[in-house]
Amino acid sequence: MKNIVVLTGAGISAESGLLTFRDTDGLWEGYNIEDVATPDAWQRNPELVQDFYNMRRGDVLAAQPNAAHLALARLQEKYTVDIITQNIDDLHERAGSSQVLHLHGIITRSQSSANPELTYPLEGSEIKMGDLCELGSQLRAHVVWFGEPVPMMEKAIAICEQADLFIIVGTSLAVYPAAGLVHYVGSEVPVYIVDPNVPDVGLPARFVKIQEKAGTGVPQLVDELLNA
């Protein structure tokens, strides 16, 4: 059975109503990223950061998987599928995908502010100030902030090295280190890019562009692969 590896970015979740993390104005839901998505922001104003992620978590829980998420889950009927996502939502899991690696964490879990390896499932939608981990430190969202290491990169690289087919959905290939993952895919492996704005970066011939939104392009590609 072929191994298909899929790298997804903000574009796939945007169609479920979740605003993209990096926008042209440098804001996320009206907030400066420097005020809500860095370790310094947490040191300066943990209440603001906590409230911000509680609101984002509410947005995620209210959102539903879209046609692209559901189509990727269907690929499991015929292939071994690993999804590597830059997104912090759980829409891939709710669509039915069973092997999902979150490069930047997942907002439906909490994390110790003292030890990032201590994470916990969340039953509700909020983490309150005063909610502590087993070390006695404040819990925060399980999200990788700017300036923090990306602990799942090594695992993601190993997955990419095993790909027989690689699919990129809804990401500009400009967000590093995630964008560098394509360099670990074998040189003979076909690569499909599904995005309305595929960057014109002189892509090799093995790269197939599908210049559609995820909700249109991904189901088309999945139907092709399942009927191959």
CATH assignment of 1-18+65-104+149-228? 3.40.50.1220
Mean pLDDT of 205-216: 89
Summarised one tens digit per residue, pLDDT across range 144-194 is 998 999 999 999 999 999 999 999 998 866 666 667 898 899 999 999 999
Active site residue ranges: 104
| Residue count (the chain) | 228
| Average pLDDT, integer, range 21-49 | 82
SS3 217: helix
Q: In terms of CATH architecture, what is 21-62+107-143?
A: 2-Layer Sandwich (3.30)
Q: Where are the domains of the chain?
A: 1-18+65-104+149-228, 21-62+107-143
pLDDT of residue 105: 96
pTM above 0.85, yes or no: yes
Average pLDDT over every residue of 12-41:
79
Q: Is the peptide bond before 151 cis (omega within 30 degrees of 0)?
A: no
- The conformation of residue 87, written as its DSSP 8-state character, comes to -
In tens, the pLDDT along 67-88 reads 999 999 999 999 999 999 999 9
177: preceding bond cis by omega (within 30 degrees) = yes
